[in-house]
Structure 1
Amino acid sequence: MRTLPHRLVRLLLLLSVLALGAGVLAACGSGSESPQGSAPSGEGGAFPVTVQHKYGSTTVPAAPQRVVSLGYTDQDALLALGVVPVAIREFTGEQPSATWPWARDKLGGAQPQVIPLAGPTTESLAALQPDLIVGISAGLTQAQYDDYSRIAPVIASPTGFADYGVPWQDATKLTGQAVGRTAEADKLVSDLEARIAQTRQQNPQLEGKTIASVLPSTDAGGGFFVYGPQDLRSRFFASLGLKGVPALDQVAGDKFYGQFSAEQLGQLNQANILALIPSSPSQVAPFTAQPGWQNLNAVKAGKAQTFQGETAAALTFSSVLSLPSVLDTVPKQLAGAAG
């Protein structure tokens, strides 16, 4: 298999539960030609609002009525705040309206258009007639931000985080500011943080244990990736009391993953727990059959867990809507592995 370009490798890592198909690169107009989104009227006197992000500031002059969810996971915070986008970007799983079950009821029966995984053209984005473009998890470049800002106000990711590594708390609050729902966003964050804290208390076996979250490489040869502290999955595990392995985190650096060859499989022995999160079920058998996997300390001790399907997608999103869907299952599985 040929070596993938670096940016595509990063995207495939982000889409850790993605199965690429023909429909991914084609917009799926599942609604009417001019879909109507819904948005809250905003808090009294909330608008105009000015939102700070890594490319400066964006002013939203009035309560937005046609919001485009341009980031890979931005729809969840919008939907949690009562905003139904007119279009949502495809991310993983090719779900109806690019919306997973944990968020689907928030659509209220609406069918937003689906923006292809590769992203919109400027023309197709303009055709949606947005009055707000939310690109917090879009990995926008300065050029893209400038281009899209000619169409409508654009919210990019905040400063201080790697692309695709904005914590769900910051993403929710930033979205709340942009749509005039600051108080609602704050409550969503505080409520979920309280649930996570309670879950942490209920699973004390996790406290201080080290974990390596592993994605098999899409290239042949048994290589793999380990998500670093900037990754959303790692952030969630940390909120449960788990820690990354310093040597593995050092390889990730300021990216959200570190890349390893098959010959480096033994480095996973530094982790108390292994979380295998493949991009498709077909990757599991070849990866775990390679020499050395069964001899890893965590595997021999029954401390390796595999997360697939909707669970893997929820961990990948790590959003204000997806995390509640796994709080009753994933921590218990990890606690059982921790012993």
Structure 2
Amino acid sequence: MNRRTTRGPRSLRLRSLTLTAVTAAAVLTISSCSANAADSGKDAGSKTRTVTDIAGEVEVPAKPERIVSVDFYSPAALVDLGIKPIGVVEGFNDPDPDLRPKVYHEALKKTATVGTYYELNIEAVAKQNPDMIFAETRFLRKGELKRLQGIAPVVQLDASGVGAWEDRSLMIAAAVGKADEGKQQQATFKKRADELKTKYADVLSKNEIAVFGYGQDHSTWGTYPAGHFYVPAWDAVGAKFRPFTKGEHKGEPGTVSQWLSIEQIGKLSNAEILIHAHGSQDFVSSLSKNTVWKNLPAVKKGMVFENVPAAVVSSFNWGTENLNQLDKVLAQIDAKAKS
């Protein structure tokens, strides 16, 4: 069965990705009930449970055993909860540490794949005979949600806005009957974030940062605002982001700036600290002969640093690992600011 009640509306490599996020307000409205979605409307002995996702209510197995994830995020959250999905999107066999932490690669590198999160192979999903499917529905093509629902109950996911990825992680935990474990992992993440907020309060409060990446062929660049899926660790410690300048942003909350030409790199003059995407040293080196770049206040003061690896947080344990990495980056920033 797949009973659903509609309740309203429903983020891999970075550097050249310009995906549009739904508004934070919509997600946060939905998320208020997500953490309590574990067991509504069903007896403890029932073979099914009704859980809440971003689209409403869906009836799922009380103890799902064959979960397929057709999104980028849920596999890591499931691994954190001690659950190994039987099908995932492509990429988990890639050991690149900038794509995801090693623990998720090791856990899922031999798992059957079902296409990519943006180009799904429905037949491969059906072949796994799942009893539950996790999907970020904004990336599904026309008609694919209905086809997936014909295979197994689909728990629909999405999140954008500052901290909204946490709501998604809690929703995943609740959907598999592990809401308490999810909340415990969230508490560990928040405790670590609070430690860094206190430890680096001075440098975080006095400086605005720009987290930036490059586009195709190093010919364009763009920055990521609060709430973007590339900066959750920075959000968690209360970093202040530079404001966008005129003509730099379309206005959608949580989305990357317009991809701008290198000739417009001077727009970064309103940031005291520049954070470039992890693994983008070649791009930064290519700017060394650019006069405008060399005269940026942050560049002149040596306040240019590399972001943490695997910055696209997909789960609480992943987030906590990112905070441990961010501790090292902030230590460098703090030492430079005091020198």
Indicate the TM-score class for this superposition, using the shorter chain for normalisation: 0.7 to 0.9
Distance 1:68-1:279 versus aligned 2 partners, 3 A rule: farther
The structure 1 residue matched to 2:202, chosen from 176, 185, 205, is 205
Instruction: Within 5 Å, give how 1:21-32 maps onto structure 2.
Output: none
In 2: Cα distance, 1:322 partner to 1:64 partner? 23
Query: Does structure 1 residue 149 correspond to structure 2 residue 149?
Result: yes
SS in structure 2 of the partner of residue 211 of structure 1 = strand
Identity of aligned residues (%): 23
In 1: Cα distance, 2:279 partner to 2:250 partner? 19
- Post-superposition Cα deviations, 1:231-261, rounded to whole Å, max 9, x if no partner, equal 1233321221211122259715225201222
Q: Contact 2:114/2:121 (CA < 8 Å) preserved in 1? A: no
- TM-score of the aligned structures, taking structure 1 as reference length: 0.74
Instruction: Within 5 Å, give how 1:43-192 maps onto structure 2.
Output: 48-91=48-91, 94-95=94-95, 100-104=101-105, 107=107, 111-117=110-116, 118-136=118-136, 139-140=139-140, 143-158=143-158, 161=160, 167-192=164-189
Instruction: Within 5 Å, give how 1:245-284 maps onto structure 2.
Output: 245-247=242-244, 251=249, 253-254=251-252, 256-259=255-258, 260-277=260-277, 282-284=282-284
Query: Does structure 1 residue 312 correspond to structure 2 residue 309?
Result: yes
- Post-superposition Cα deviations, 1:104-155, rounded to whole Å, max 9, x if no partner, equal 56x3x98312344353321111111111111248734673322211111112
SS in structure 1 of the partner of residue 58 of structure 2 = strand
In 1: Cα distance, 2:125 partner to 2:64 partner? 16
Which residues of structure 2 form unaligned runs of 5+? Answer: 1-10, 17-42
Q: Contact 2:15/2:215 (CA < 8 Å) preserved in 1? A: no
Q: Contact 1:55/1:142 (CA < 8 Å) preserved in 2? A: no
In 2: Cα distance, 1:166 partner to 1:71 partner? 19
Tell me what 2:19 maps to.
Answer: none
TM-fit CA distance, 1:62 = 2.6
In 2: Cα distance, 1:123 partner to 1:137 partner? 17
Instruction: Within 5 Å, give how 1:285-304 maps onto structure 2.
Output: 285-304=285-304
TM-fit CA distance, 1:287 = 4.5
SS in structure 2 of the partner of residue 246 of structure 1 = coil
Q: Contact 2:92/2:104 (CA < 8 Å) preserved in 1? A: no
- TM-score of the aligned structures, taking structure 2 as reference length: 0.74
In 2: Cα distance, 1:161 partner to 1:193 partner? 18
Distance 1:198-1:81 versus aligned 2 partners, 3 A rule: same
Please tell me the residue identity of whatever aligns with 2:244. Answer: A
After alignment, is 82-91 or 46-55 more displaced?
A: 46-55
In 1: Cα distance, 2:62 partner to 2:326 partner? 40
Query: Does structure 1 residue 228 correspond to structure 2 residue 225?
Result: yes
In 1: Cα distance, 2:171 partner to 2:198 partner? 28
SS in structure 2 of the partner of residue 15 of structure 1 = coil
- Post-superposition Cα deviations, 1:160-205, rounded to whole Å, max 9, x if no partner, equal 737xx87331122110111011111111111211111112212223
Tell me what 1:323 maps to.
Answer: 319
Q: Contact 2:80/2:315 (CA < 8 Å) preserved in 1? A: no
Distance 1:252-1:102 versus aligned 2 partners, 3 A rule: farther
Please tell me the residue identity of whatever aligns with 1:113. Answer: A
Please tell me the residue identity of whatever aligns with 2:316. Answer: V
Distance 1:227-1:288 versus aligned 2 partners, 3 A rule: farther
Please tell me the residue identity of whatever aligns with 1:85. Answer: P
In 2: Cα distance, 1:302 partner to 1:267 partner? 17
